[in-house]
Amino acid sequence: MLNLTCLLKLAIKHCPRFTSFVAEEEEIELPRNLEMMELSHCTSLEKLPSKMHTLKNLSILGCPKLMGVTTDDPNSNYLISQLESLRISTCDTLTSLPFAKGRLAALKTLGIWNCKGVKSLEEFTVEPLNSLDINSCDNLGSLPQYLHMLSHLTRLDISYCPALEIEDFPPLPITLLSLKLWDCPKIKSITGCNITSCSNLTKLEIWECPALEIEDFPPLPVTLSKLLVCECPKIKSISNDWHLFTSLQELMILSCQNIKYFAKAGLPLNLQSLVIERCENLEQPVREWGLPLLTSLTFLKIEGRSMGGEGEKVWFPSDDKDEEDAWSLLFPSSLTGLVISEMRNMEGLSSGLRNHVSSLQSLGIFDCPKLRDLPEDGLPPSLHRLWIDGCEILKDQYSEQTGDIWPLIQEIPSIYIDFVRIQ
């Protein structure tokens, strides 16, 4: 193999009898110009070669007997020192990585997925690292307290780690651009992470962290462009200063039952996408959110349970004139995508939808059991896609070419009724 001087990439896949890089009691030396190596589903592989020369990218998937990433020979440290990307998945016997001895001193990207043997990253001192992704490591119990020392780290993703028990999150490096915490049921606090110091943070996602209890959310960097807070029932507030977040373009708050107020001074004026769902204890009236001021908003999803306790009549009153006013007062005309769900008492949509949201391209109407009428003058002519699901009365009125609502929707190119495409 050493004679293959032009070989840049090597992939070994589905070789259950492949146990090591040894032939006739001598280790196979990889080509000196090899830059990428992929080892996939080699179920008997226990060791990697000690000499990997200029290897820059290493991907290991489904090698359950692999014990380590580098050799224990101290004289061979330099032979993996140029590795820049390391991705390891489904290697259950792998318990640790040799960070402390400088063997991965050039590593920039590290991904560890579904490795049950990894319990700790306490030897974590790879200073050049700029991306760290830990996913589905069932026994990972802690994060290193000196994350802030990773002075080049820009992306940190921690997902599906059920044993990760953190009373308080360790400080973050100020270089961080993206932080993602998904499905970590034992994380209790993020107060100590000093997220405010991440002055360039653009993306923050916190999803399914049921033990995370926040009375007052720590101040967030105004550089955020995307914020998702979902399935966190113990979070009681997000921010009272949304108007300061001039870079925020995407905001999703989902299943946060204890949030009562979230937009006292109005929402960020440059928002492009807003989703508020299953926040049934919101007390702030929707008319105070300042939606008509969001002239850049193109997608909105909202449901009846997240309307600030003021009822659906504020959105869809019975008086025709009030209906027209409701659309202009509560919806920005810039919308191209709108999803309405769980309006349990809404019986019809007014012509305000057609007249005010005249550039609408996609409309979804879900779980509105009393809805029976669409606007008499039809939906916006710009509409390209229509989804209707969980609206049984409206569904009963649909019959291609003969149903009452067919003339109102027949010009729409894509129509889905109960997720079945009918046109």
Q: What is the model's pLDDT at position 102?
A: 55
Q: What is the model's pLDDT at position 399?
A: 67
- pLDDT over threshold 80, residue 226: yes
Give the model confidence (pLDDT) of 274-300 as tens digits: 998 888 888 777 777 888 889 999 999
160-169, 231-240, 311-320: range with lowest mean pLDDT: 311-320
What is the phi/psi pair of residue 378, to 5°? 90, 175
Q: What is the model's pLDDT at position 275?
A: 93
Structure tokens that stand for 405 in this block: 């609502």
- pLDDT over threshold 90, residue 155: yes
Give the model confidence (pLDDT) of 374-386 as tens digits: 888 888 999 999 9
Please give the Cα distance from 318 to 357 (Å, whole number).
19
Share of the chain above pLDDT 90, in %: 36
Please give the Cα distance from 359 to 297 (Å, whole number).
12
Beta-sheet pairing, 57-61 with 155-159: unpaired
- pLDDT over threshold 70, residue 301: yes
Instruction: Annotate 292-317 with b (16+ C-beta within 10 A) or e (fewer).
Output: bebeebbbbbbbbbbbbeeebebbbb
- pLDDT over threshold 60, residue 86: yes
- pLDDT over threshold 90, residue 303: no
Name the range with the highest mean pLDDT among 91-95, 165-169, 385-389.
385-389
- pLDDT over threshold 80, residue 256: yes
Give the model confidence (pLDDT) of 350-405 as tens digits: 777 787 888 999 999 999 888 888 888 888 999 999 999 998 888 777 766 667 78
3-state helix, strand, coil in the chain (%, to 5): 15, 25, 65
- pLDDT over threshold 60, residue 79: no
Q: What is the model's pLDDT at position 206?
A: 95
- CA 368 remoteness from chain centre: 28
Q: Which of 31, 30, 13 is nearest to 22 (CA)?
A: 30
Give the model confidence (pLDDT) of 313-322 as tens digits: 444 444 444 5
pTM of the model: 0.86
Q: Cα–Cα–Cα angle for 230, 233, 234, nearest 5°?
A: 120
Please give the Cα distance from 76 to 330 (Å, whole number).
67
Q: What is the model's pLDDT at position 396?
A: 74
Q: What is the model's pLDDT at position 51?
A: 74
Q: If you compute the radius of gyration of the chain from its CA atoms, what whole number of angstroms results?
A: 27
Q: What is the model's pLDDT at position 73?
A: 53
Mean pLDDT, residues 119-147 taken together? 83
Please give the Cα distance from 261 to 40 (Å, whole number).
50
Q: What is the model's pLDDT at position 326?
A: 61
Beta-sheet pairing, 299-303 with 337-341: parallel
Mean pLDDT, residues 46-63 taken together? 85
- pLDDT over threshold 90, residue 414: yes
